[in-house]
Amino acid sequence: MIALLRNLVLKDLPLKLFSLAMAILIYYTISFVAIKNAPALSSLAMPVDVRTFANLPVLIISSAADVRRLKVVPETVAVTVQGDPRILARLESDEIRALVDLTGIQSATDLRAHLEVSTPAGVTHLHAVPSEVRVIFPKDH
């Protein structure tokens, strides 16, 4: 038993010591690189800001109806977006669109429709209040 353990430890001892030295060298090299690049890695976590735009008009998209005759209740909504603080600081309310898509709807008198929000690149839509609007079609339709 002692001979087996002695053979296990001492056989190829220079090769085992070299392997241990290489493992330690690789470990410290990777640790040094990770510490040196920590600020660069932390900048990958982009800062995010949130901003709300109130009183955005609701736009109607339709292929079948004359949208000028349709009434939307409420006519304006509040949209909350998130993104890079520099982009949001320059963002104007007319760059965000609150849309109701009525494409494919031929006729109705009163309809609840979900809002779709369109934002520029780098800006993410979080939510709209209200998220649904009521679309009232004209009586003679």
Closest CA to 100 of 80, 72, 128, 123: 72
Paired tokens of 50:
């949130």
Paired tokens of 93:
């309310």
List pLDDT tens digits, range 24-39. 999 988 888 777 666 5
Q: Residue 72: its pLDDT value, please?
A: 86
C-alpha to C-alpha distance for 81 and 126, rounded to whole angstroms: 5
List pLDDT tens digits, range 63-75. 765 667 778 889 9
C-alpha to C-alpha distance for 43 and 84, rounded to whole angstroms: 12
DSSP E strand boundaries for 1-131? 49-61, 71-73, 76-83, 97-101, 110-114, 116-118, 123-129
pTM of the model: 0.60
Contact 78, 98 (CB under 8 A): no
